[in-house]
Amino acid sequence: MKRIALLTTILVIAGAAHAQSPSGFKVQTRYSIAGTDGWDYINVDSDARRIYVSHAVRVNVLNADTGAPLGTIEDTPGVHGIALAPSSGHGFTSNGKENKVSMFSTADLSLIKKIEVGKGPDGIYYDPGTDRVFTNNHGSHDISVIDATKGELLGTVAVGGDGEGAGLGKDGLIYVALEDKSEICAFDPKTLEVKRHIPLDGITAPTGLAIDRKNDRIFVGGHNKTAQVLDVPTAKVLASFATGSGTDAAGWDAKDGLAFISNGEGNITVIQEKSPTEFVALDPIQTQQSAKTMTFDNKTGKILLPAATIVITPAADPSQKPKKSITEGTFAVLVVGK
19 part of a folded domain: no
pLDDT tens column, 180-229: 999 999 999 999 999 999 999 999 999 999 999 999 999 999 999 999 99
Tally of structural domains, the chain: 1
DSSP state of 246: S
The CATH number that applies at residue 241 is 2.130.10.10
Under-50 pLDDT residues of the chain: 3-19
* Exposure string for 248-278, b = 16+ CB within 10 A, e = fewer: bbbbbbeeebbbbbbbbbbbbbbbbbeeeee
139 part of a folded domain: yes
214 part of a folded domain: yes
In which domain, by residue range, is 71 found? 26-337
pLDDT at residue 21, rounded to an integer: 67
33 part of a folded domain: yes
5 part of a folded domain: no
- Residue 40 Cα distances to 148, 154, 197, 248, angstroms: 22, 26, 27, 10
pLDDT at residue 20, rounded to an integer: 52
pTM of the model: 0.92
Q: How many CB atoms lie within 10 A of CB 96?
A: 26
Local structure of 51: helix, strand or coil: strand
- Residues contacting residue 8 through CB under 8 Å, at least 6 positions apart: 312
- Residue 331 Cα distances to 143, 289, 300, 326, angstroms: 30, 12, 23, 8
Distance, in Å, from the CA atom of 221 to the CA atom of 244, rounded to the nearest integer, reads 10
- Residues contacting residue 144 through CB under 8 Å, at least 6 positions apart: 101, 117, 118, 121, 134, 135, 137, 153, 156
36 part of a folded domain: yes
9 part of a folded domain: no
Sheet of 26-32, strand order = 26-32, 332-337, 302-307, 295-297
pLDDT at residue 14, rounded to an integer: 35
13 part of a folded domain: no
pLDDT at residue 1, rounded to an integer: 61
